[in-house]
Structure 1
């Protein structure tokens, strides 16, 4: 994995929704809508949050939602044009932010222009009639993906998220990357894989990272069910993945119900975020989750609209009630940045009940200890706290507390070494 990724913390954006683009592509001849610039007004907000890069959802010309691409070499005219894109990349880089693009290379929109042999006859993606699956056995398809990746890497992007990677033979990615990596050795590539053997897919494909859906599920499920044993089991599997690769971790993304809506008890939102930023992985925050946005994904046409909303023109137009969650993210991301070694940290469970868990990451002089309590009573943790200082708690206050005694439905993050109190 290229060294800069060791420090990466992503803000994940779905651009078509973010800027309020039309639901379907405009007719040919419609003037370009220069909307990408709206993202530039949010870059300082992203930096202040503590993130170091943007993962952009689809930006290429498509029929509707961006995952039905019709031209991988053209910016969607509902977003802007090449000049708008170049300006966004330059401005982001000028603020120290990396940029990763969403590569939809398993399937394309039905109006994508290519020879018939590029497609698998009669094969659509997961039953969606307007998504036609590419034939990854055809050399010209592989060359097309190589050309697309290199085109945008040359334009300044820093890596690729590979959509529906799980539906593509892993050998395809290995062949593609064998041509792309020598030209762009600093680029980072991660694939969307939901189920299955993550480690095997990473090894066979040559991808740098895989989306960690198993940990995501265990986070909200264990909090909802009052069953930290489930989380402890998933965490053990998560740690084992580090022998092969560093997973891409998240509490929300553009394809799932927002974490604030997923949790039965919103008092546990901080628990989820504390886990995300104190266990191994390359974490991302889905835009709006840091403001406790709500939104439920539904399995119907338009069922993603609630989780892919329009954002205001500027951050100062956001609702007031979301800012405490933003500041909480800032403080937890601050712990992550001060302890960058957490990206590969092994985490052990030091204490476990259904409703309380103590997670210790690191070893020797650098350690982080997370104490989570989702019960209705204060929980006293029987763990050794010598050398630890309170780093973050839900309340942004300096009032003294007993760090071993965590109040009901609360949590503490403790860390060793100087500079961690606050």
Structure 2
């Protein structure tokens, strides 16, 4: 059986932290930090109970931070080019090293990561880590690279703004001079001359405070100064260095890479690199953060297994949850990627997006239950859950560099309220209920053959506006594999509804269904009843407010 992939994104620094101080802009000593050793076999077993197949340990590679680890031989970062006290996990300072914040014994941080890999695999879960290919921290310097590896930028000709032999882009004759102060609290100024181009394609020396100023863009042989001309033959030096990094982590047993801002790196590199990695590790997976739907097929053909479906499915589902779009719009969202449906990654939260339960989104995690059911069960493609989402984490803290924006910080030392309370039995009734729903839905997604392998049939075109069905607030579809049929109906309305669902004759023909009286079990809610399957007939059912029904029928 081809089981559906269910990814659990864990912001590693925060997940295991049980320090409740939560001081604004606090240091690691004040607010604490989660560790890799927190993930014992028993913790991983609980994660797997959710229906999870893959764990994405976010932020495990060493990145820029204001915390001083010079006693362990780790270079100190200038605080003017670090966001937050903990720093962004997407400002990598050493691609071959592990974040010291995450280690119980900093000197043995790589050994602790290796042990985490082994425990995760022993628990039956696969491991995803970040690969950040577009940019690095401004003070990138590897102290852990293998002896034969030449550091990024080490042999660059800094007098050339662009050269396919360089790893970075430069502004010759210009000092790095953004529109904010570059001094730390001791008065020491950050100096960079010539200035390097900034990670979000800012090719001048004066990035703004809203730019990715803490990063520098990597050069994959594309001359942005001359209109994005690509120089890919011979293979650019950066390609070779980044391939070595991928092979290093794949060689440790990492199962997949979540590739940050993949579309900012030329597709030609991905085609070359993914092919090379798969020659040595055929089962490795590549998950791409790509936001331009016009580029989806280009990046899939370049070696990506899965791409974020953010601009289509996520944006549509968010609008439906909030009442800004009709549930029938979901049909258009999946149709836009129907030819590549198995390559799209669905999600309702991740570290970049606002928490569903925040006041900037739905204000209540339970309001997203119908969206969870639809996204997790409608197609064969993977679904991703962000740690805390299963409890309705609100993300409404003011942590420090990260303000009250409905997101869980990626820049500060902090602890996640619901995760802390879940461990000591302090969840509210609604939080426990939401967790139980996630366990049921995600395990249905992972174990039901009709979901992992089956055909999909959208029922919206025959269930239009009527007194018995509201396509603005209800969404319905079928899943079928062998003799197993699922009838899924989701209700985005805040009131219970009594509906009558039509299953068209075309569905009977397309899915080889036979009519008649059948016994059905609602595997989400636990009830049983007889259903009369008739071509173009109506099936009455009640769907709870912000709820769903998943009727399973054994046709044999």
Structure 2 gap segments, 5+ residues each:
65-86, 104-108, 142-151, 157-165, 171-195, 201-210, 222-234, 465-470, 504-514, 532-538
Match for 1:105 among 133, 147, 156? 133
* Residue 381 of structure 2 corresponds to residue 381 of structure 1: no
The more displaced of 180-189 and 257-266 is 257-266
Instruction: Out of 306-315 and 184-193, give the one that drifted further.
Output: 306-315
1:109 offset after TM fit, Å?
0.4
**TM-aligned CA deviation for residue 383 of structure 1:** 2.4
- Find out whether 1:221 has 2:316 as its counterpart: no
How far is the alpha carbon of 1:179 from its aligned partner? Answer: 1.4
Matched, 1:405 2:479: no
* C-alpha distance in structure 1 between counterparts of 2:425 and 2:140, whole Å: 38
Quick one: distance in 1 between partners of 2:526 and 2:301?
A: 48
Q: Give 1:236 deviation, angstroms.
A: 1.7
378-387 vs 71-80, which moves further: 378-387
Which of 72, 85, 88 is equivalent to 2:113?
85
Q: How do 1:126-137 and structure 2 match up within 5 A?
A: 126=200, 127-137=211-221
Secondary structure of the structure 1 residue equivalent to 2:101 = coil
Answering whether residue 191 of structure 2 is matched by residue 168 of structure 1, we say no
Q: In the alignment, what sits opposite 2:8? A: 11
Offset at residue 17 of structure 1 (A): 2.6
Once the two structures are superposed, what CA deviation does each residue of 1:204-243 show, in whole Å capped at 9, x if it has no partner? 421111111121221121122251122121122243323x
Q: Contact 1:10–1:51 at 8 Å: present in 2 too?
A: yes
Counterpart CA distance in 1 for 2:168 and 2:548 is: 51
Paired residue for 2:237?
A: 140
Q: Tell me the distance in 1 between the aligned counterparts of 2:519 and 2:242.
A: 49
Counterpart selection for 1:119 from 168, 186, 202? 168
Give the match for residue 424 of structure 2.
Answer: 317
Matched residues in 1 for 2:241 and 2:406: separation?
31
Partner of 2:393: 293
Cα deviation for residue 340 of structure 1 reads 3.9
| C-alpha spacing 1:65/1:25, structure 2 compared with 1 (3 Å) | farther
User: TM-score w.r.t. structure 2 length?
Assistant: 0.66
The Cα offsets for residues 18-45 of structure 1, whole Å up to 9 and x where unpaired, read as 244998999xxxxxx8921113352121
Alpha carbons 2:321, 2:367 under 8 Å: kept: yes
Contact 1:349 1:360 in 2 (8 A): yes
Q: Which residue of 2 aligns with 1:208?
A: 305
Length-normalised TM-score, structure 1: 0.86
For 1:191 and 1:362, how far apart are their aligned partners in 2? 29
Would you say the 8 A contact 1:373–1:406 is kept in 2? no
| Higher mean C-alpha displacement, 396-405 vs 177-186 | 396-405
- Retained in 2: the 8 A contact 1:24–1:65? no
Q: List aligned pairs for 1:6-405, cutoff 5 A.
A: 6-20=3-17, 35-40=35-40, 42-63=43-64, 64-80=87-103, 81-113=109-141, 114-115=152-153, 116=156, 117-121=166-170, 122-126=196-200, 127-137=211-221, 139-213=236-310, 214-225=312-323, 227-242=326-341, 245-261=342-358, 262-263=361-362, 266-280=365-379, 281-295=381-395, 301-303=401-403, 306-308=407-409, 310-311=415-416, 316-317=423-424, 319-321=426-428, 322-343=431-452, 345-350=454-459, 351-352=463-464, 353-362=471-480, 365-375=483-493, 376=495, 378-384=497-503, 387=518, 389-393=520-524, 396=525, 398=527, 404-405=540-541
1:78-113: CA deviations, max 9, x gaps? 112011101111111111110011111110000013
- Would the alpha carbon gap of residues 345 and 296 (structure 1) be closer, same or farther in structure 2, given more than 3 Å must change? farther
**CA–CA distance in 1 between the matches of 2:269 and 2:27?**
30
Cα distance in 2, alignment partners of residues 347 and 397 from structure 1: 23
Stretches of structure 1 that go unaligned for 5 or more consecutive residues are 27-32
- Decide whether the 8 Å contact of 1:60 with 1:73 is kept in 2: yes
Deviations 1:106-152 (A, max 9, x none): 10000013324211234212321111110012722111211111111
In structure 2, how many angstroms separate the alpha carbons of the residues matched to 1:203 and 1:53? 20
Distance in 1, matches of 2:11 and 2:353, equals 13
- 1: CA distance between counterparts of 2:397 and 2:293? 23
* Conserved? CA contact 1:347–1:360, under 8 Å: yes
> Residues 12 and 253 of structure 1 are in contact (CA less than 8 Å); yes or no, is this contact kept in structure 2?
yes
- Contact conserved, 1:239 with 1:346, CA < 8 A, in 2? no
Q: Report the 3-state secondary structure (helix = DSSP H, G, I; strand = E; otherwise coil) of the residue aligned with 2:520.
A: strand
Q: Which has the larger radius of gyration?
A: 2
Query: How far did residue 266 of structure 1 move?
Result: 4.9
Q: Distance in 2 between matches of 1:237 and 1:345?
A: 20
- The alpha-carbon distance between structure 1 residues 318 and 188, as it changes in their structure 2 partners (threshold 3 A), is farther
Instruction: Say which SS state the counterpart of residue 249 (structure 2) adopts.
Output: helix
Q: Is the 2:520–2:529 contact (alpha carbons within 8 Å) kept by the matching residues of 1?
A: no
Distance 1:15 1:342, change over 3 A: same
Q: 1:397 to 1:416 in 2, by over 3 A?
A: closer
How many residue pairs match? The answer is 405
Shift of 1:297: 9.8
